A and B are shown apart, each in its own frame.
Chain A
Amino acid sequence: MNVAAGWSKRVKSRAQTRKQRNRAAQRLFAGSAALIFLVFFAIVTMLVQRSLPLWQSVSPQQFITGRVWKPDQGLFGLLPFILGTFWTTGLGIAFALPLSLLSAVYLAEYARPLTRAVIKPVLDILAGIPSVIYGMWGVLVVVPAVQNIFAPSFSRAFPHAGLFQSGNPTGFSIISAGIVLALMIAPILIALMVEILLAVPAGLREASMAVGASRWETIKYVVLPKAASGLIAALILGTSRALGETMAVLMVVGNVATLPRSLFDPAYPIPALIANNYGEMMSIPLYDSAIMGAALFLLVIVLFFNILSSLVLRRMLK
């Protein structure tokens, strides 16, 4: 498991000080890595501890499957929020992934260095614009577009598909949130993916081209497979980020705690629940603990998603 231990045999003849220095550094590095575990468990512990009062009045199962959220009446049902989180994140990724991957391949493999040099800082900027601004833009542009163009035309085009029907004609909806979310994570995804694609050794490309493969064939058979695990890891990071994104989504998603049935229905993701209530309600113990419970469950979702995808990734690499 620990490769350094195996290597240390090979360097037996080297000066003692180098070995000692190496060992000291290893301890320091391992210590820092241990810090990650410390932070993780500290956050989990905090969430568990803060949510304790909730479990005295609600069982975890009721919490997860309950459909009504009325803290004043002691009803804490998280199901609408869980579904809201899945819908918005799923849609956001579905929009962002193809766009980002195609853009990243183009930027890394086809674009002139000048194009890259111009676009990269733009992506940095976009990754840094406060989410409030994305949210404002969503309210100004996406929500009216969904209300006036997407919703009517989709429900006309697919009159029998429940997914595209809605009794909510305001435009504040899952699809608006998905679009805004996609725009927010696309810069991050593209930046990471370009970096990963560019890091594929140039020698591999040259070898492929030398045997007569076209540029596209080189990408398809050499670059993408080589970069696949990195690209998927980038996607996982993007999804994790989308699961936790708060302000921009909150501004366009409608925040209605019911079970959504169509893309044009409003929804209420967990981060929005936390942000909408936390600052105002943290002084009321049961409210505070219900919101911490929701945060804990969000963390479980993110954890579960990450374990699942790393298992998939591992199988793929075999």
Chain B
Amino acid sequence: MKSEIRTHHRWIFWLILISTLLAGCSGSAPKPETITVSGAFALYPLMTQWAEAYQQVNPAVRIDVTAGGAGKGISDTLAGAVDIGMVSRELSPEELNQGAFPVAVARDAVFGTLNAANPYLDQIMQKGFNQRLLAGIYITGEITTWGQVLGKPGVTDQIRVFTRSDSAGAAEMWALYIAGKKQSDLLGIGVNADPGILEAVIKDPLAIGYNNLNYVFDPQTQKPVNGVVIMSLDLNGSGAIEADEIFADKASAIQAVAEGRYPSPPARDLYLITKGSPGGAVKDFMIWILNDGQVYVETNGYIALNPEQLHEMRSRLDVQP
């Protein structure tokens, strides 16, 4: 037993030696003008494109983008492990209190989806959904059949409700829109990620689900993905569905979001955050994103901020730290 105690000491010694060595090395590792970015998967593709374009204009800057989820991005940023965090949901008060400084850089929107082969599709689309009806399906669980949706007790086909299993901005927005609730209040079978829920809806004629803009529209045809129909929402509360409440292609959906006819939520802002207001190379990069960088937003399928918002965000960055 004695020898074992001694070996413990020995190991602790080695551990300390190795860790000091490593810590020593890492201190000299970061190169000048490296901007590190981490966070939400939703913003990763756009950010890599921004990074590449910005590095072409400013060859002295190197931008390392990693993805790992919004919470990871926020805690990395707040811990000082990275310079910029990508966030695809609203920030919580706790996060703002710790000094998170959010700047909106693009928008996204969530749309309800139905299977194109739903046997009652025409009637459903004509009647349309509203928040009360969706709350009955997604929150209280009072509405379980398509008959209840249509007001026809004779129809007893069950609604197959799908929701996101992973914490996601889209699900938060959907719950907030329906009843001012949180993702954990949503009922339904939890499926992983946007493509997962889309696929589940495509496979089941009686399904209902929701997806981010980019996932419901086919990037080639600009129409809803084969097998899926975007549910009509009674957005103006008229009790009936008008032509501009049916989204048959991407342009009309983007237009509705941009004009504010499609409410927020389920439309939402995507943020970059820094710890306190940014300065130096990070600030330059963020200003570039809000100016020259905006051309990449719509070409990559995201929704651009409207001019007032852009102006607001630019002036937000101009405040000296």
Contact = CB atoms under 8 A, between A and B. Distances in A.
A and B touch in the complex (CB under 8 A): yes
Interface of A: 23, 26-28, 30-31, 34-35, 38, 69-72, 135, 139, 144, 168-170, 172, 247, 250-251, 254-256, 266, 268, 272, 275-285
B192 A251 contact: yes
A277 B199 CA distance: 22
**In the A-B complex, the 7 residue pairs with the closest CB atoms:** A279-B69, A255-B190, A280-B167, A255-B165, A283-B74, A31-B7, A283-B75
Contact of B68 (A30, A69, A276, A279): A279
11 contacts: A27-B10, A31-B8, A35-B11, A135-B192, A139-B200, A247-B192, A254-B189, A278-B69, A280-B69, A282-B69, A283-B95
A285 B167 CA distance: 16
Contacts of B188: 256
Interface residues of B, number: 40
B190 A283 contact: no
Nearest to B191: A172
A143 to B, nearest CB: 8
Nearest to B12: A38
Contacts of A284: 71, 92, 94-95
A72 B187 CA distance: 15
Given A277-B167, A279-B71, A70 B10 contact: no
Interface string B58-89: 00000000001111101100100000000001
B74 to A, nearest CB: 4
A230 to B, nearest CB: 28
Given A38-B11, A250-B165, 14 more contacts: A27-B7, A31-B7, A31-B8, A35-B11, A170-B204, A254-B190, A255-B192, A256-B188, A276-B167, A280-B69, A280-B70, A281-B167, A282-B72, A283-B72
Contacts of A266: 189-190
Contacts of B152: none
B210 to A, nearest CB: 16
B196 A278 contact: no
B19 interface: no
A38 B4 CA distance: 13
Interface centre among B69, B185, B187 (most CB of A within 10 A): B69
A285 B92 CA distance: 11
B182 A72 contact: yes
Nearest to B94: A284
Given A251-B192, A283-B74, A34 B68 contact: no
B168 interface: yes
B189 A255 contact: yes
B166 interface: yes
A144 B207 CA distance: 14
Given A280-B71, A280-B166, A283-B95, A170 B189 contact: yes
Contacts, number: 109
B203 A144 contact: yes
A27 B190 contact: no
Contacts of B78: 283
A290 to B, nearest CB: 11
A230 B219 CA distance: 54
Contact of B160 (A170, A256, A275): A170
B6 A27 contact: yes
Nearest to A29: B7
Contacts of B182: 70, 72
Nearest to B166: A276
B3 interface: yes
Interface string B265-305: 00000000000000000000000000000000000000000
Nearest to B193: A251
Interface in B137-174: 158, 160, 162, 165-168
Interface in B37-76: 68-72, 74-75
A26 B3 contact: yes
A72 B183 CA distance: 9
A275 B190 CA distance: 13
A35 B8 CA distance: 9
B184 interface: yes
Contacts of A283: 71-72, 74-75, 78, 92, 94-95
B41 to A, nearest CB: 9
Nearest to B207: A170
B191 A71 contact: no
Contacts of B203: 144
A144 B160 CA distance: 14
Nearest to A147: B204
B72 A31 contact: no
B201 to A, nearest CB: 11
Contacts of B89: 280
Contacts of A27: 3, 6-7, 10
Contacts of B199: 139
B282 to A, nearest CB: 19
Nearest to B190: A255
Nearest to B182: A72
Nearest to A272: B165
Nearest to B199: A139
A169 B156 CA distance: 14
